[in-house]
Amino acid sequence: MCGTPAYAAPEIVAAARRGSGGGVDSGGPQYGPEADCWSLGVVAFTLLAGHPPFYADTDAALYGAIAAGRADWGDPIWGEVSEGGKNFVRALLTVDPASRLTAAGALEHPWLAERDAGLESRPSGALAFRRASSLAAGRARA
């Protein structure tokens, strides 16, 4: 498997565990836009929470969390995020690719489609930005 493990969709993890490889040039199973939508969910989660949804000390544990869809929703920041925002991320981080929010569905999702001029001034946005800045600076939460 290539790429950043924390962004891998469950179907990619499952293929890697089976040893069937995958990816564009491997001759293994090809992955469609559903896997990209999962990765978008990882990015959205990270932007909102200030840390990635899946974390583990070993790759095997990380892949197990991804395969089971066990994202870290325990951070108090999620109390500051609207139900629409949480729904958007959960719909992208759906383990079953056939049930996962599509790219077109993401663009049409009410939370993403909202045009809230005051969004950037909300406390959760500022807190998430500070957390993401710390993560980028290598001071990720323990």
| Percentage of the chain exceeding pLDDT 90 | 56
Mean pLDDT of 36-60: 95
- The single-letter code of the amino acid at 104 is A
Q: Is the dihedral of CA 28, 67, 95, 36 positive or negative?
A: negative
Q: What is the pLDDT of residue 31?
A: 79
* In the predicted structure, residue 55 carries a pLDDT above the cut 50: yes
Q: What is the pLDDT of residue 26?
A: 53
| Percentage of the chain exceeding pLDDT 70 | 70
Over the stretch 62-107, which tens digit does the pLDDT of each residue have? 999 999 999 999 999 999 999 999 999 999 999 999 999 999 999 9
| pTM confidence score | 0.76
More confident residue, 117 or 93: 93
Backbone φ, ψ for residue 68 (5° rounding) = -90, -10
C-alpha distance from residue 74 to each of 9, 53, 66, 78, 85 (Å): 21, 10, 16, 8, 15
